[in-house]
Each structure stands twice: as structure tokens, then as C-alpha cells.
């Protein structure tokens, strides 16, 4: 047997080498005679390699290549599994959220149904709740906010609406008034809703408003013993019998009057009544047909206290003012205490006027002369501008004024036996 306890100081002998060789040869021979059975799951043995990754053999051994293929497939599967796990977790989260949300919405749907007066609970299925929802009658009205009273709400096919219509309360003035062609009063109300009735929405149409469309609604047209819409009457009421008595009294004073005369005509006729006759005035003056120049002569004086003075033609002859030829003038004027004067009637250049009356009315602030001209036309002369630069309040003088610039012809003022009334 070959030596086995060698050291660094030993010397190798030939016989030692031979012994080693013999043992090696013996070992080779022994190895050559060893028989190794095929490997199995029950016994170790010789194993055949395989690259297959899908084999079911129990006698083949996988190569590194097969292992790597399996590893790669497993890694890919793991990645896929991880992604699937992540997706599954997200899906679960969404499912959980959907479930929770579904429960909340279901509770809301149930609450909405109950609010609509329909019995419902969360224990009912969605199908049951949906059937109940379909049984609700949908609003179909067509009202808008302006047609719904303020402070109230409603709904129509478009959804909920909040009222905007004003609620008119208390006593109010109208927007305005007008008059229909037939005389009816039109009252324009504010837009909105009013309850109506006393103190709760009525309109107050004042007399001032009504007068804007009917000016005749005033005290002058309402009898004195009546008040209409707060307007106190100022018109003195006269019965038919009273008016007849006044007409009879005027007639008795020498001025014909009748019941058919209007009140204003009766007032004029009253003014024509002469009271307190002072005298019968006879006046006549002339410029003879010779010489030239101007002449004045006083006809009469009207005292300060007399309010109305009248010269009326009498039956003894016509009052006249004549200027027979051109360049002659005969004129009656009235002069105040300050010397200011106004022309009452004038004849000139061949004219001839027949005078009916001359009236000086201080109360009416007027002076008038009624006459008929040479052509037969009846005329009425109203003296203008008596309120400016002329004093009607003091004594007045009627003066005859004659003017001539030729030696021919004459001018005459004749007032024979004229009745003077004051």
C-alpha cells in the first residue's frame, strides 16, 4: 500500500512511486467496474439533462436554460400577478366606495320619496324604489317668477321658481288717471297682487288727480251747499222760481229780461239798469264854417263815487257826432284828474255817427260807446288800456273836442235831452 504520511523532508523512493501507481491502477479498475443506475424520485443515479420547461418526466433534470426560462416566466407571472393584485385592490376600493355611495344615494332617494308623501325605506331594492320614483307626478305648469307672488315658491316643468310679483298693500295712489272718449274715468294700477277691500289694497284717486283729466271738476261748478270728492262748492244755486223773480225785477226796472236768459246775460242786463237818475243832459256845440284850430268844451263831470255812468239816447232826438267835410274832426274824450285822456268816439273827414250809449264802468274798468256809422253799420268801441297810465278811481270829465284845418264845413256834437244814469 502506498505511503500516506509524507513530509517535506522525506525522499521519494522508486518503490513508493510504484506503490502509488499500483493503487491508481487498482482504483481505475475499480471505477470502471462501478455501475450507476438511472436516477429516479426513489433512488439517486445518473440523470439526463433537459431544456424543457413543460415536461412531466421524473427522470430528467432541468438545465440552467430551462431553469432560467421557468424563472423568467415566473417573474413575468409575478409582475402580472402584482398588477392584477393592484387592480383588484383599486377595484375593491371603487366597489367599496360605490357601495357606500350607493347606500348614501339610496338613503337620499328614500328621503326624497318620503318628502313627496310616498312611503319608502332603505331596505327596499333599487327596482322597488325606481318604480316608486316613476309614480311621482312631474310638474307641468307654465308659470314664471313674475306671475308668482313674492315670498312664495313653486315649480314647473323647468324646475323650481321663486315668486317676484309685488304684493300691493294698504292705500295707494294710482300710477295715473285718464278719461275715456265717453267720459269714463280710467285708473292705471301698479303691476302686482292686491288683497282688495278697505285698507288692504285699495287705490286712492284724489280730487287733484281727477281734476287733471276733468278741469270742470272745481268749486265754481259745484253748488255752494255741496262738497264733492272734498271739493267745496262755490256756485250759488238758483231755482227756476228764483231766476224768474230776478228776470221780473230787471224787467220792472225798464230792461226786458226773461227766464230763458243765461245768468251772465241777466248780469249784463242788471248793469243796464239806471238808478239814481241825476239829470237830463242837453249838450250841443259846433265849430262854424270859418277859421281853423281846436276847441274844447265840457260835456259833463262824473263824480268820484259813481261806479257806473251811462249816457242813453232819449226820445227827444238822436245823439250824434258829425264832421261834415275832410280835415274836420269832432270827438268825445274822457279825461282823468291827472290830465290823461282816452278817446271815446270820433267823427272826421265827412263821417256822421249816431250815438246809442256811452258807458263808463269803474268796477269793470271799461269805457264803451255804441253807435251807428254813416253807412248804417252798428259798432261798439271799447276804449283800450284803461289800467295803464289812466286813473279811473278819481273824478272823470267828458269833453267835446273840435279840430279843423280848413275854412269850409262844420263839426258838431249834439246830445239833446240825454238821460244820465249813475
- The grid coordinates listed for 148 are 308668482
- The grid coordinates listed for 317 are 232826438
Helix axes 263-271, 240-252, angle to 10 degrees: 20
CA distance 312 to 281: 10
Q: What is the pLDDT of residue 98?
A: 65
Q: Is 398 exposed, middle or buried (0-12, 13-18, 19+ CB in 10 A)?
A: buried
Question: So where are the chain's domains?
Answer: 63-136, 159-205, 240-271, 279-421
Contact between 45 and 36 under an 8 Å Cβ cutoff? The reply is yes
Helix axes 64-115, 126-134, angle to 10 degrees: 40
The neighbouring-strand residues paired with 49 are 61
- The grid coordinates listed for 120 are 319608502
Residue 218 is given by DSSP the state S
Specify the length of the chain in residues.
Answer: 422
The CATH architecture of the domain made up of 279-421 is Sandwich (2.60)
The neighbouring-strand residues paired with 323 are 411
Q: What is the pLDDT of residue 275?
A: 54
Tell me the three state secondary structure of residue 47: coil
- The grid coordinates listed for 336 are 282823468
Phi-psi region of 216 (alpha: psi -120 to 50; beta: other; left: phi over 0): alpha
pTM confidence score: 0.37
Q: What is the pLDDT along the chain (422 residues), one digit of tens a residue?
A: 677 777 778 777 788 788 778 778 878 887 777 777 787 777 877 777 777 778 877 778 778 886 787 787 778 878 887 887 887 777 777 766 766 666 778 888 888 888 877 888 888 888 887 888 787 767 777 888 888 889 888 887 777 889 888 888 888 888 889 988 888 888 888 888 887 777 777 888 888 888 888 888 888 888 877 888 888 888 777 788 888 888 888 777 667 888 898 888 888 877 666 554 445 567 777 776 566 678 888 888 888 878 888 887 666 567 888 887 777 888 999 999 999 999 999 988 888 888 888 888 888 889 998 888 877 788 888 998 888 899 998 999 999 888 877 656 677 777 765 555 55
| SS percent in the chain: helix, strand, coil, step 5 | 25, 30, 45
Q: What is the pLDDT of residue 40?
A: 76
Contact between 27 and 8 under an 8 Å Cβ cutoff? The reply is no
- The grid coordinates listed for 143 are 308659470
CA distance 110 to 126: 10
Amino acid at each position: 500500500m502506498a505511503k500516506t504520511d509524507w513530509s517535506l523532508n522525506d525522499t521519494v523512493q522508486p518503490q513508493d512511486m510504484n506503490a502509488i501507481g499500483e493503487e491508481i491502477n487498482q482504483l481505475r479498475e475499480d471505477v470502471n467496474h462501478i455501475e450507476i443506475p438511472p436516477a429516479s424520485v426513489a433512488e439517486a443515479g445518473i440523470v439526463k439533462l433537459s431544456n424543457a420547461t413543460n415536461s412531466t418526466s421524473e427522470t430528467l433534470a432541468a438545465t440552467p436554460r430551462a431553469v432560467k426560462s421557468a424563472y423568467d416566466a415566473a417573474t413575468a407571472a409575478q409582475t402580472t400577478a402584482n398588477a392584477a393584485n393592484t387592480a383588484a385592490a383599486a377595484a375593491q376600493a371603487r366597489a367599496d366606495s360605490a357601495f357606500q355611495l350607493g347606500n348614501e344615494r339610496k338613503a337620499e332617494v328614500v328621503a326624497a320619496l318620503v318628502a313627496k308623501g310616498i312611503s319608502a325605506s332603505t331596505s327596499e331594492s333599487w327596482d322597488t324604489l325606481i318604480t316608486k320614483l316613476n309614480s311621482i307626478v312631474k310638474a307641468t305648469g307654465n308659470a314664471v317668477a313674475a306671475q308668482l307672488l313674492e315670498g312664495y315658491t313653486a315649480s314647473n316643468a323647468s324646475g323650481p321658481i321663486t315668486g317676484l310679483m309685488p304684493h300691493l298693500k294698504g292705500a295707494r295712489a294710482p300710477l295715473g288717471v285718464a278719461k275715456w272718449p265717453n267720459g269714463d274715468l280710467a285708473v292705471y294700477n301698479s303691476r302686482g297682487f292686491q288683497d282688495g277691500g278697505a285698507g288692504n289694497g285699495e287705490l286712492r284717486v284724489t280730487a287733484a288727480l281727477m281734476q287733471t283729466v276733468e278741469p270742470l271738476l272745481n268749486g265754481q261748478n259745484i253748488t255752494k251747499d255741496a262738497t264733492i270728492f272734498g271739493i267745496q262748492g262755490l256756485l250759488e244755486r238758483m231755482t227756476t222760481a228764483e231766476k224768474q223773480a230776478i228776470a221780473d225785477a230787471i224787467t220792472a226796472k225798464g230792461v226786458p229780461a226773461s227766464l230763458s236768459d243765461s245768468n251772465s246775460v241777466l248780469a249784463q242786463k242788471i248793469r243796464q239798469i239806471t238808478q239814481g237818475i241825476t239829470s237830463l243832459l242837453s249838450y250841443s256845440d259846433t265849430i262854424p264854417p270859418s277859421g281853423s284850430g281846436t276847441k274844447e268844451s265840457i260835456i259833463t263831470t262824473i263824480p268820484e263815487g259813481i261806479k257806473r255812468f251811462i249816457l242813453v239816447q232819449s226820445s227827444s232826438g238822436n245823439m250824434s257826432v258829425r264832421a261834415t267835410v275832410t280835415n274836420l274832426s269832432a270827438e268825445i274824450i274822457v279825461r282823468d284828474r291827472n290830465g290823461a285822456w282816452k278817446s271815446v268816439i270820433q267823427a272826421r273827414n265827412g263821417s256822421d255817427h249816431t250815438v246809442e250809449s256811452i258807458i263808463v264802468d269803474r268796477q269793470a274798468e271799461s269805457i264803451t260807446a255804441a253807435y251807428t256809422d254813416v253807412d248804417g253799420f252798428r259798432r261798439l268801441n271799447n276804449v283800450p288800456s284803461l289800467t295803464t297810465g289812466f286813473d279811473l278811481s278819481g273824478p272823470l270829465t267828458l269833453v267835446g273836442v273840435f279840430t279843423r284845418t280848413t275854412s269850409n264845413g262844420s263839426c258838431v256834437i249834439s246830445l239833446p235831452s240825454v238821460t244820465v244814469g249813475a
